Amino acid sequence: MIIDEIVGYRPFIRRPVYSERVKPFMGKEIIKVITGQRRVGKSFILFQFIQDILNMLPDAHIIYLNKELKQYEYITNEDVLYNYVKENLKAGVSNFLFVDEIQDIQGWEKTLRSLLAENCCDIYCSGSNANMLSGELATFLAGRYIEIKVHSLGYNEFLNFFGLENNVTTLNAYLSMGGMPYLKTIGLEEYAVYEYLRNVYSTILLKDVVAREGIRNIRFLENLTAFLADNVGSIFSASNIAKYLKSQRDAVTTQAVLNYLKPLAAAYFIHKVPRYDIAGLRIFEVGEKYYFEDIGLRNAIRGYDKRKDIGKLMENAVYLHLIQQGFSVFTGQAGNYEIDFVAQKAGITIYIQVCYLLTDENTVHREFGNLLKIDDNYRKYVVTMDEVNSGTSYQGIEQVHLKDFLVDSLGSAK
């Protein structure tokens, strides 16, 4: 099967960061699981992997099925999947199996584990729900899979997709419309973008949250999502959310809030960021922040008012950049002061404060002062929208414009 037959002759733009992440595992006896929110481009990442394989092995045999396509509706359980794969293997060549949206096949993990043990094909699959790799399932496949998380376009990818220069105008477009890859097809005309994003939002809520989790109180789910959109980057707990919603005549329990937050996070629609005690080196059990997987989807829910929302969206963009770089991200807490982000990866730690503009001495003292209280030599940033020269610093703390921070590869930070 050639790549054009699989893709349907649709051109796609490569996202090299994901090829680099999967490359060490290609051809190895380990299941490659591609996860991420609906419509962030997982299918095209699989196409990209297929293309890479065929470039290396032109005679490779590709078995591909996409559970969103009608022709594969009948593959509903582990036995049907197993028989389909075994019937389509080709003797004498290397076989590669690709299954898109595999979570819709009951017992899929048993088939993949068996196929892996039989060493009959190199296995790749994708899914749109974090629960597919949680609890007992993770134990069942322990040591047999590697997860590769796909995100909506980072700012650097946004520049590449649209062939745009890195300037304030482009940055504002990204903060307004976000980075869903399909924007490349429909363009950046505001009306069309938000119509598309509202449809994606509805699909995620109905298919990946309501239907999958059997949720009945859809109105409360929508109100909760709107609350999260209004409070991006604010520290709160499930009990505080419940109290607020009760004040709005939406009486719910704290447990109900938790029950609705979990499926939103499981659909990769929102990300929970816990608080990290910098001095005590521990994670707090309560009080966290939430950010959206895509800024445009957040704006489709509540609209985009730059005067009111810019600080929230800047924080969301910084958070997305960090996780796209492979960092584990926390909100820093030490005594009475807060650090917006503590990011850690492979022995690297960086600290980041995000502020729209450093308008006065009090703001400067707050943003830089909190970082100065951290007594270590790791890299520290204040990210703003002020026009600053490259390399600008204050007592060793780097001040950087958001548009420059979002194109910086942070993996070599010291």
The pLDDT score that the predictor gives to residue 292 is: 98
Which tokens in the block code for residue 308? 């009111």
Give DSSP secondary structure letters for 339-360: EEEEEEETTEEEEEEE-S---S
Residue 60 pLDDT exceeds 60 = yes
The pLDDT score that the predictor gives to residue 170 is: 98
Q: Are 203 and 276 in contact (CB under 8 A)?
A: no
Q: What is the pLDDT of residues 116-170, one digit of tens each?
A: 999 999 999 999 999 888 876 788 898 999 999 999 999 999 999 999 999 999 9
Residue 7 pLDDT exceeds 70 = no
SS (H, E, C) 201-237: HHHHHHHHHHHHHCCCCHHHHHHHHHHHHHCCCCCEC
Residue 388 vs residue 85, higher pLDDT: 85
Weakest mean pLDDT among 87-96, 111-120, 214-223, 267-276? 214-223
Residue spans of the domains in the chain: they are 3-149, 155-405
Residue found under tokens 């389509």: 88
Mean pLDDT of 168-191: 97
Neighbours of 23 (CB within 10 A): 11
Query: Strands 282-292 and 95-100, how do they pair?
Result: unpaired
Q: What is the pLDDT of residues 320-362, one digit of tens each?
A: 999 999 999 999 987 788 999 999 999 899 999 999 999 999 9
Q: What is the pLDDT of residues 247-266, one digit of tens each?
A: 877 778 888 898 999 999 99
Query: Strands 348-354 and 328-334, how do they pair?
Result: unpaired
Q: What is the pLDDT of residues 10-29, one digit of tens each?
A: 678 999 999 999 999 999 99
Mean pLDDT of 374-396: 89
Query: Strands 397-401 and 379-384, how do they pair?
Result: parallel
Q: What percentage of residues in the chain have a pLDDT greater than 90? A: 76
Q: What is the pLDDT of residues 292-302, one digit of tens each?
A: 999 999 999 99
Q: Helices 108-118 and 78-88 sit at what angle, rounded to 10 degrees?
A: 30
pTM above 0.75, yes or no: yes
Residue 413 pLDDT exceeds 50 = no
Residue 414 pLDDT exceeds 50 = no
Residue 179 pLDDT exceeds 80 = yes
Q: What is 3-149's CATH topology?
A: Rossmann fold (3.40.50)
